Amino acid sequence: MTTPIRVLLADDQALLRATFRILIDTDPDMTVVGEAANGQEAVDLARTVRPDVIVMDIRMPGTDGLTATSLIAADPALAATRILILTTFEDDENVAKALRAGASGFLGKDVSAEALLSGIRTVADGETLLSPTATRSLIARFLATPEPSRPDSPQRLASLTDREREVMSLAALGKSNDEIADHLVVSPLTIRSHIHRAMAKLQARDRAQLVVIAYQTGLVRADPPPAGH
């Protein structure tokens, strides 16, 4: 029998947490192992229960979700924990900040039951939950320029093969494994292998962090923001 995905819920709205708990606990493949009402509680609980996935709200009193995500992602003991942020794709800057902090994906707070459960499974499997639209129009805008405190040199990619760089750049443009496979005329399994090798070489937690590195090293360039933005 497969071990259920262990989920921690972090949101200051008790009603939303209760709703998500009921939904998740009715799925035989996952279980809620804790609830947090703010970011610090999420960090403390994560270190205690070691969840596979944290469903994290951004706006919470005290320590917010972005700060909590940074603390959790920076803890070597929680390297296997994935963070799924609750937000809206329109909130461009928070999406980029959460990606830099170590989040694995994003869902809107009006998410359907099916999409929530699917999203949890996706990030638990080490994949990223970024729609092509979010990747192209939001992430590129804010990740193209590295943070001054954390410059990323193109030399960081020196260990990658040409094909790994090519696959990484296509992933950073929001293409799925199937789309990349069609483009390069290889199997999706081959693409998955290239992605995982690139992640290992660059010590990326998951595919989302690989996207961050692609922009911060200049492997992929962002288009200028649309006029008026």
Residue 138 counted as domain residue? no
Of 90, 126, 122, the C-alpha closest to 108 is: 90
Per-residue pLDDT of 205-222, as tens digits, reads 778 788 888 887 888 876
3-state DSSP assignment of residue 55: strand
If asked whether residues 115 and 158 sit together in one domain, one would say no
Mean pLDDT of 59-78: 92
Whether residue 158 is predicted with pLDDT greater than 50 in this model: the reply is yes
Q: Quick one: pLDDT at residue 136? A: 53
Same domain, 54 and 158: no
Tell me: do 76 and 155 sit in the same domain.
Answer: no
Top mean-pLDDT range of 64-73, 140-149, 201-210: 64-73
Asked whether residue 97 carries a pLDDT value surpassing 50, the answer given is yes
Among 75, 95, 77, 74, which residue's Cα sits nearest to residue 85?
Answer: 95
Question: Of the residues 129, 163, 188, which one is the last residue of a structural domain?
Answer: 129
Burial code (b: 16+ CB inside 10 Å, e: under 16) for 41-75 equals bbbebbeeeebbbbbbbbebeebbbbbbbbbbbee
Overall domain count for the chain: 2
Q: Which domain holds residue 186?
A: 151-216
Q: What's the chain's average pLDDT?
A: 83
The pLDDT tens digits for 173-190 are 778 888 999 999 999 999
Check whether 125 has a pLDDT greater than 50.
yes
